[in-house]
Amino acid sequence: MLTHNQVWTALDRLAARAGLSPSGLARRAGLDPTTFNKSKRVTPDGRQRWPSTESVSKALTATGTNIDTFVSLIDGGGRAPAKSIPLLGLAQAGAAGNFDEGGLPTGKGWSETPVPSVNDEQAYALEISGDQLEPVYRGGDVIIVSPSQPVRRGDRALVKTSSGEVMVWQVKRKSQKAIDLKSLSPAQPDRTLNTSDVAWIARVIWVSQ
C-alpha cells in the first residue's frame, strides 16, 4: 500500500531529476507554484493532504516522465544522484538565528530539499519568493549557496551586511576596503559596501528554475 510520505517523496525526486524545486516543478506543470510545497502536504488541523491525480499527471507530462518511472521513484530507484541539503526561504534569511557568524545554517527554521549532487558539505538552498530579483530569478526558483567556495568578480553571491540585511547580488569588484555589488533587478540600484560592513559573503553555485 502506498503511503502519504512515499508519494510526496516521489514528487520531490521527480523534481530533483528535472533540476527543479517542488515549486519549479509545479510551475512547469502549469499549476500554482505552491501546489507541491511541504506546507501543502498537511492541513492546518494536522490531516494528511495527498496530491491529486491531475497534478501528478501534469507533473509527469511536464517532465516527460512515464508512470513506470514514477513508480520506481516511489520505491527509491530511477533517480539522479541527489542528496538533501538545508532549505530556507530567502525572505526569512535575514531573521535572527538562521545563520551563525560564519554564514552557515543554524536554528530550527530550516527544512530540507533534495538536489543534484553538490560537492560541498556546507552548501544550503534558499527559495526565492516575489519578484524583487527578476528577471534573473523568479518566485519559486531555488538557489544553492556555497560558503566555502571563493567569490570572484562576476559571481552571484549571497551577502549579509553587518546590519542584518541578506540579499543576492552580482559582484562587480572586490578590494580590501570595499565591494561593489550589481543589482539583479533593474528596479534596484547598485551598491558599494565597505568590507567592514559585510558580515559574510557566499557564492551562488546553482539554481533550479
Neighbours of 80 (CB within 10 A): 13
* C-alpha to C-alpha distance for 19 and 2, rounded to whole angstroms: 25
Place of cell 531573521: 95
Domain count, the chain: 2
Residue where a domain stops, chosen among 45, 75, 105? 75
**Are residues 117 and 16 part of one domain?**
no
What does the pLDDT read at residue 175? 93
pTM of the predicted structure, to 2 decimals: 0.64
**Are residues 96 and 196 part of one domain?**
yes
C-alpha cell at 23: 515549486
Nearest to 109 by CA among 97, 125, 126, 121: 97
**Are residues 204 and 103 part of one domain?**
yes
Beta bridge partners of 194: 178
**Are residues 97 and 195 part of one domain?**
yes
Domain that holds residue 112: 82-208
**Are residues 88 and 55 part of one domain?**
no
Domain containing residue 92: CATH number: 2.10.109.10
Q: Are 6 and 74 spatial neighbours (Cβ–Cβ below 8 Å)? A: yes
Q: Which amino acid is at 156?
A: R
**Are residues 113 and 182 part of one domain?**
yes
What does the pLDDT read at residue 204? 95
Q: Split the chain (209 residues) into runs of 10 and give each run's mean pLDDT.
A: 86 84 89 88 88 93 87 67 81 93 91 76 91 91 92 95 95 95 94 96 88
* C-alpha to C-alpha distance for 98 and 81, rounded to whole angstroms: 28
What does the pLDDT read at residue 209? 62
